[in-house]
């Protein structure tokens, strides 16, 4: 009996009500609130939330809350145009309000799917065949897909070739010469179908036709990518699958190595080489010595003809890396050094992999010297050299690199790295006052010049040092953010409860206008902190009155009240 993997809703949502407002706009967000009672069949898995919204007609919504950003789709007319519609808003708000119930709803969805699997497992061969034929009679897309599978399994190469040409054609999906986002998934599904057919052809007959079909498909994908909106990444996934099919077919069928090298070079150096991306190193064994020599020749020739070309340089680098030709690679790279130090880093890494660590360090040091004052410097160059000095037992040089880096980019991370290096070299007591003076100057300049800021690094550094009192004393004189004030209150609450209390109360106020699990959780944390302040001051009766008033105003938020009850609030 087949089983489906269990799906679970994420522990905490990775989006907020503000995210929904930003994506939908104020008007659609407001209209979405009117559809909350029309949301049904809500469910969630690890990567998506689904529901049906019964508006003018049933509309199916899919939200993908995964990082880096929330996305949503709906099959209503407005949603099909690529907008985050009012139905998406309604589902998002419902999910935030019912987050604690999503695991139960998801389990019910999984149970229904498992029931279907069990029923299918109970059917015998004839019953399954009858069921499939019934579906084929009413589903032309399924009929076409299985027809192609049958042709591939039977090694009917002409039929497979004709079908694949049709599957690669973007014209049925085009409007005014382009394929928009809502149709890109359909075209990508056809590409996946073509890839499966080519894979089947390669495993049923030792015929290099499967290789040439995959090559034609890859070329067609690259050309089509220029007129397809691949915002959701469907085309990229399908292209990667086709690239894998080509690699598998080459390994199995062993086509002519020189011809394959010529095709590979043409793809890598072509206008559409970014999709799909092919790694020359993966073809090294397939090409053998004759094919690899031809690929190396073509890469060098292209670079000589156009030495400033990014594509030509990248292809030559890839081939030389796979070839292990370190000196030749260094010579090629050093002919055109990037001003941010990234090329210096690449050379250092290749020399380091070859065991030539002193030469690697020399290139990294050169990179730092030649990119001084040239923003933005490649941060990995600093980390490479710092790691080298640490491994080589050179603490003085390590402190120098970390100090120079901190002077160039004064952040909490560079401050921490400087502190770690100085403590290892036993010089932090000397270095720390200088570093804090620089951060204090930065904070004052931000305040004078009204620069946009996320809060002075000075406060973060002092808190990170465990020097809460110094941070508390410095905060009033620099542009400290509300979030930093809360962290300061947390750090000094035991010693200054009367001062910390108003900070917590100010932070609670805007949360009372929000919904969703993250807002409720944060409000609960702040209320617990406020209660601790009242207890330290002996004013618990005052907190009791405040909490009763807050609960009265928030009485419609059942999940919030349940959370407060669980924490004894």
Residue pair 35/53 in contact by the 8 Å Cβ criterion: yes
pLDDT of residue 448: 65
Q: Which residue has 């037992």 as its token pair?
A: 393
Please name the residues in contact with 452: beta carbons below 8 A apart, sequence gap of 6 or more. Answer: none
Length of the chain: 569
Hey, what long-range contacts does 125-132 have (CB within 8 A, 24 or more apart)?
A: none
What is the spatial distance between Cα 435 and Cα 410, in angstroms, rounded to a whole number?
A: 9
Angle at 248 between CA 244 and CA 251, to 5 degrees: 140
CB 246 within 8 A of CB 197: no
**pLDDT digit of tens for each residue in the chain (569 aa)?**
444 444 444 556 678 888 898 888 888 898 898 899 889 888 887 778 899 998 778 899 999 887 567 889 888 878 877 788 999 999 999 998 888 887 777 777 778 778 888 888 998 998 988 888 888 788 777 777 777 777 667 767 787 788 888 888 888 888 888 988 778 888 888 898 889 888 888 877 666 788 999 999 999 898 888 889 887 788 888 999 999 999 999 999 999 999 999 999 999 998 765 788 899 999 999 999 999 999 999 999 998 888 878 888 889 988 998 888 899 889 888 888 888 888 899 999 999 988 999 999 999 999 998 887 666 788 899 999 999 999 999 999 999 999 999 998 899 999 999 999 999 999 999 999 999 999 998 888 876 666 555 568 999 999 999 999 999 999 998 888 888 999 999 999 999 999 999 999 999 999 998 888 888 989 999 999 999 999 999 999 999 999 999 999 998 888 899 889 989 98
Task: Please list the residues that pair with 544 across neighbouring strands.
Answer: none
Rounded alpha-carbon distances, angstroms, from residue 337 to 333, 334, 354, 443, 502: 7, 6, 21, 36, 55
Two tokens, residue 99: 């987050």
Q: What is the DSSP string of 432-484?
A: HHHHHHHHHHHHHHHHHHT---SS-HHHHHHHHTT-HHHHHHHGGGTT--HHH
Residue 467: half-sphere exposure toward Cβ, Cα within 13 Å: 14
User: In this prediction, what percent of the chain has a pLDDT beyond 90?
Assistant: 42
The closest alpha carbon to 496, from 521, 475, 522, belongs to 475
Distance CA 546, CA 364 (A): 60
- Rg of the Cα atoms in the chain: 31
For 93-144, the pLDDT digits (tens) are: 999 888 888 777 777 777 877 888 888 899 899 898 888 888 878 877 777 7
Nearest of 100, 137, 85, 135 to residue 10 by alpha carbon: 100
- pLDDT value for 296: 93
| pLDDT tens digits for range 471-514 | 999 999 888 888 899 999 999 999 999 999 999 999 999 999 88
> Is-contact 242 205, C-beta < 8 A?
no
Q: Do 61 and 50 touch, CB atoms closer than 8 A?
A: yes
**What's the CA gap between 60 and 348, in Å, rounded?**
52
Cβ–Cβ < 8 Å for 43, 106: yes
CA distance linking residue 353 with residue 86, whole number of Å: 54
Q: What is the pLDDT of residue 298?
A: 95
Residue 5's pLDDT is what?
45
Token pair for residue 563?
A: 């959370």
Say how far apart CA 192 and CA 244 lie, in whole Å. 11
- pLDDT tens readout for residues 282-337: 999 999 999 999 999 999 999 888 887 888 888 998 899 888 889 988 988 888 88
Residue 308: how many CB atoms within 10 A of its CB? 9
Please, are residues 163 and 193 in contact by the beta-carbon 8 Å criterion? no
Cis, peptide link before residue 321, omega less than 30° from 0: no
**Two tokens at 389?**
């000095």
Phi, psi (deg, nearest 5) at residue 355:
85, 10
Query: Which run of H or E residues covers position 236?
Result: helix 234-253
Q: What is the pLDDT of residue 464?
A: 92
Please state at what angle helix 517-537 crosses helix 558-566, rounded to 10 degrees: 40
């Amino acid at each position: 009996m087949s089983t489906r993997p269990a799906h679970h809703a994420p522990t905490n949502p990775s989006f907020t009500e503000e995210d929904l407002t930003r994506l939908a706009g104020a008007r659609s967000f407001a209209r979405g609130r009117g559809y909350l009672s029309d949301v049904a069949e809500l469910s969630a898995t690890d990567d998506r939330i689904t529901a049906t919204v019964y508006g003018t007609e049933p509309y199916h919504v899919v939200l993908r809350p995964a990082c880096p950003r929330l996305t949503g789709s709906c099959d209503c007319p407005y949603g099909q145009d690529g907008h985050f519609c009012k139905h998406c808003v309604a589902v998002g708000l419902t999910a935030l309000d019912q987050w604690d119930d999503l695991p139960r709803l998801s389990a019910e969805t999984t149970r229904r799917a498992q029931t279907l699997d069990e029923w299918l497992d109970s059917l015998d061969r004839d019953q399954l065949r009858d069921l499939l034929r019934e579906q084929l009679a009413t589903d032309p897309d399924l009929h076409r897909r299985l027809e192609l599978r049958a042709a591939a399994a039977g090694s009917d190469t002409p039929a497979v070739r004709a079908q694949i040409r049709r599957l690669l054609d973007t014209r049925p999906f085009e409007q005014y010469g382009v394929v928009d986002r809502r149709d890109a998934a359909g075209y990508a599904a056809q590409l996946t179908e073509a890839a499966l057919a080519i894979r089947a052809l390669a495993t049923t007959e030792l015929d290099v036709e499967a290789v040439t079909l995959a090559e034609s498909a890859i070329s067609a994908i690259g050309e089509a990518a220029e007129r397809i909106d691949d915002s959701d990444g469907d085309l990229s996934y399908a292209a990667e699958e086709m690239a894998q099919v080509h690699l598998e077919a080459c390994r199995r069928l062993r086509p002519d190595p020189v011809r394959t090298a010529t095709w590979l070079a043409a793809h890598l150096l072509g206008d559409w080489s970014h999709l799909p991306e092919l790694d020359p190193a993966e073809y090294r064994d397939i090409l053998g010595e004759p094919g690899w020599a031809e690929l190396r020749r073509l890469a060098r020739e292209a670079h000589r003809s156009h030495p400033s070309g990014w594509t030509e340089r990248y292809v030559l680098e890839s081939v030389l890396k796979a070839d292990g030709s370190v000196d030749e690679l260094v010579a090629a790279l050093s002919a055109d050094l990037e001003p941010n130090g990234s090329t210096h880093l690449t050379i250092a890494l290749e020399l380091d992999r070859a065991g030539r660590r002193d030469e690697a360090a020399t290139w990294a040091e050169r990179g730092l010297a030649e990119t001084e004052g040239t923003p933005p410097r490649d941060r990995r160059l600093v980390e490479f050299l710092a790691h080298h000095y640490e491994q080589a037992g050179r603490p003085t040089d390590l402190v120098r690199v970390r100090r120079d880096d901190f002077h160039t980019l004064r952040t909490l991370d560079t401050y921490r790295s400087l502190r770690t290096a100085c403590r290892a070299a036993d010089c932090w007591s000397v270095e720390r006052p200088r570093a804090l003076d620089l951060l204090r100057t930065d904070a004052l300049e931000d305040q004078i010049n009204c620069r946009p800021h996320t809060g002075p690094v000075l406060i973060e550094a002092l808190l990170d040092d465990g020097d809460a009192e110094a941070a508390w004393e410095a905060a009033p004189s620099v542009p400290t953010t509300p979030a930093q004030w809360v962290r300061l209150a947390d750090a000094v609450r035991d010693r200054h409860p009367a001062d910390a209390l108003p900070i917590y109360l100010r932070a609670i106020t805007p949360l009372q206008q929000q919904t969703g699990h993250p807002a409720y959780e944060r409000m609960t944390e702040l209320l617990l902190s406020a209660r601790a302040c009242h207890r330290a001051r002996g004013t618990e009766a005052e907190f009791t009155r405040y909490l009763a008033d807050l609960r009265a105003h928030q009485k419609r938020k059942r999940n919030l009240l349940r959370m407060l009850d669980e924490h004894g609030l």
